[in-house]
Structure formats: C-alpha cells, structure tokens
Structure 1
C-alpha cells in the first residue's frame, strides 16, 4: 500500500517542532525522553540511507521508524509527511558538504593551490559519501521537484559558487587563470568528474576488469581530475 501523501511542512513548522515542550510532543505520550535535536538527527541519518538506497517511492516510513529510537507518528510530527522528510534529508545532505567547503579558508591560499584543494576535496567527499550521490541522482529522476521546494538548499548553493568564483577571479587577476570561464560551468565540470567516479565505478570495474576501489587507483584518479581542471583554467 502506498504511503499517505500529505503536504510537506514549511521550514517554520519544523523549527517550531524543535522548541515544542515535552508535553506537546508524541514522545511525552509514549514515555520516551524528549530530545528533539537528537531525535531529528537520528531520523535524518536513517532516512538518508533509506532514501539513498530505495528512492522516494521505495522508502517506507515504517522501516525508518523501526530503525530509529522513535515512532512513525513522531516522524510525521517533526516532518509532516514522507515528502517532508525527504526534503529535509536533501537539505541536510547539501548543508554538510557546503559547510565543509566554506570552512576550507581557500582565500588564504594562492589561486592554483586553492583550486587544487577544492577539486581534491570534491573528489574525496563524493567518494566517501555515495549516499549523497544517490540522493542527487534520485532527485534528478524527479526533475528537481522536491529540491525546488527548499529555499534552504538554494541558499546553501550560492556560497559554493561564490567560493569558486572568488578563487577563479583571483587567479585571473594574478594572470594564472585564463579569462572567459563561467564559474557555474566550471563547478559543473568539477562535479561531473567527481560524481562519475562513484556512480559508474561498478560498471567500469566490470567492463574494463580494473579495480577502481583500490586505494592507489582512487588516488591516481583524483590526481588526474585535479590536473585536468587546473590545466583547463590555466592562462
């Protein structure tokens, strides 16, 4: 039977739930310890794996509840619906990578060094977080329908482009990068090369009889991607 479809809650509703008193929450009715932050983090962690593995259609709230220290009712209390939980999972996934990017202090590095570090980080992060790749691929199958519902995700991605734009424009001013490259296009190229390593490694390994999970192969591929991007932007 299909999960009940209910409207996704607005961000204001989810924030309000975090500060609700113990007497107002389903946890109080069932005798659970009321810790909204820990409960929501637990739900998001399990739901991330569930949605990444099965997609929005295949994931089940019952299974997510069973794998957490909460209940189906509380999941709906915090997130409103299955779709609301899915949007929250997307928001958390993007928040994590963007938070790390903005904390890299690339402005303290020479432009080429900064670009190399950013590209290497992207490769390593995508490789270490395959669930993020699966979530993005799944959302593309929905034509970005649920991502479009989140203002937070759109706000999170602005600093990512601004970060790359700042590195690139510094390089242009210093004469080490060539003019005429769109930072969004450059970001797309970095993402495409990094994502492919994760999304297609199993088929490539089988077709070409090559172990792309070997640590040496992973390092060589990352270095190759870094070098491709740097040579592309060099003056």
Structure 2
C-alpha cells in the first residue's frame, strides 16, 4: 500500500478533503475573542438595520461583514428579531451610560440640568443612527422594547438622575415644584430628537439646514434655555 493519498482514487481523495477538519478563521476568532466578535456582529447589524429597517435587513449581509457565520449569529441571538433587540439594548445602554457618567450630582441644579440638556442634544446630533433606530422601533409599535427587560431597567436610570437634580433645585428655590421628571426628560428628548429626525424634511421645505454647525449651535442653546425657563419659578 502506498503511503499518504497516492493509492487513493480521485473520488476517495475528494471525500477525504470534504471530511477532513480545516482551520476556520471565523471560528478561531470567536473562540479567541468572543466579546470582540459579538461587538462586531452588533456593529454590522446596527448599520444593516439603520439602512434597511427590520424587515429589509438580511442576516446574510451581517454575517458577511463580520468574523462569524449566519449559523453562529442565530446561535447567540436566536433569530433576526433577537439580534435587532440586542442592537436596541446596546444603543440604549450606551446613552444611559454616558448620562450616568456626567456626575450631575456634583453640580449646582441649574448647571446640572443645562449640562444634561446640552449633552442630550449633542448625543442625538452625533449619533443619528440612534435616532433612526428609535424611529424604526416606533414603526413596529415598540414591541421589541416591550419584550426587553434590560431596556426597561436601563431607561429608569435617567428618571432617577433627573429627579435628583430637580429635587435639589426645588429645595433651593430655583425650580418650581410640581413637575414630573418624566416630563422634563420628554421635553429634553423631544427637542433634541426632532433636530435630527426632521433634518431632511426641514431642509427641503424651508431650505434650513439644522445640521449646519452655526445653526446647530444656536438650536443647542435654545434647548437649554427652554428647559431652564420651564423649570424656573
């Protein structure tokens, strides 16, 4: 018998090649850096969902742009909707983490509330993908948000942050009593969100570029002023 595959027929050599284990760079990447690959999947998925929405996004395209496979994506995220929900969770986790890092409790109430309003405006302006994902989720009646226990807990943190600042302002006589933290949050978010969500339509209808640096700066200061005037006695 000849050594190696010299005595094999062409069909036998082909069968052996198909069954022999070969190194898979994507599998190696996953086992060596699973968190890195997971982040890569979420980043590619975010871009796909933002561009095509939930229904138009293709998992094949997401897998092609990452160091893993479609099968592995399904293994870790369940299905396309599970991956979409994970992207939403990561995006809400990011903005809430930044809010908590502002350390508003160390600032006087008016300065703290102004800083939060300015940060929120800047975050939306610098992260249009977040705005787009929220818009997409509203098309789906927020059913993925409703199914995520993680997001529900994350979003409560901003109300606690606002309540702490607001209560200090009321106690110091700087803010009028009777305003709910949720209403403060909704006002700040609405003013910041609209500047990004309606930028294209406002530009088309009025010829007004809300994304131009000087105009965006003016809008930012207006948002801060509006919030503080709403709160003052």
Q: TM-score range by the shorter chain?
A: 0.7 to 0.9
Give the structure 2 partner of residue 149 of structure 1: 147
Within the candidate set 29, 32, 42, 2:28 is matched to: 32
Deviations 1:15-47 (A, max 9, x none): xxxxxxxxxxxx979653322101100000111
Structure 1: distance between partners of 2:185 and 2:76 = 34
Structure 1: distance between partners of 2:219 and 2:181 = 23
Structure 2: distance between partners of 1:147 and 1:116 = 28
Structure 2: distance between partners of 1:197 and 1:171 = 28
Within the candidate set 131, 134, 145, 2:132 is matched to: 134
Structure 1: distance between partners of 2:63 and 2:25 = 17
SS in 2 for 1:87: helix
Where does structure 2 lack aligned partners over 5 or more consecutive residues? 1-22
Q: Tell me the CA shift for residue 211 of structure 1.
A: 2.3
SS in 1 for 2:136: helix
Where does structure 1 lack aligned partners over 5 or more consecutive residues? 1-26
SS in 2 for 1:32: helix
What is the count of residue pairs matched by the alignment?
209
Deviations 1:124-174 (A, max 9, x none): 000111111111111111111111111110110111110011111110000
Deviations 1:28-85 (A, max 9, x none): 7965332210110000011111112211111110111111121111111111111110
Structure 1: distance between partners of 2:193 and 2:78 = 31
Give the structure 1 partner of residue 73 of structure 2: 75
Within the candidate set 201, 225, 228, 1:227 is matched to: 225
* Consecutive aligned runs of 4 or more in structure 1 exceeding 6 Å deviation: 27-30
Give the structure 1 partner of residue 62 of structure 2: 64
Structure 2: distance between partners of 1:107 and 1:182 = 18
Structure 1: distance between partners of 2:53 and 2:63 = 17
Q: Say if 1:177 and 1:47 are closer, same or farther in 2 by CA, change over 3 A.
A: same
Q: Does 1:167 align with 2:165?
A: yes
Structure 2: distance between partners of 1:66 and 1:54 = 16
Q: Say if 1:209 and 1:84 are closer, same or farther in 2 by CA, change over 3 A.
A: same
Q: Say if 1:126 and 1:30 are closer, same or farther in 2 by CA, change over 3 A.
A: closer
SS in 2 for 1:211: coil
TM-score (norm 1): 0.86
Give the structure 1 partner of residue 102 of structure 2: 104
Matches within 5 A, 1:44-55: 44-55=42-53
Bigger CA radius of gyration: 2
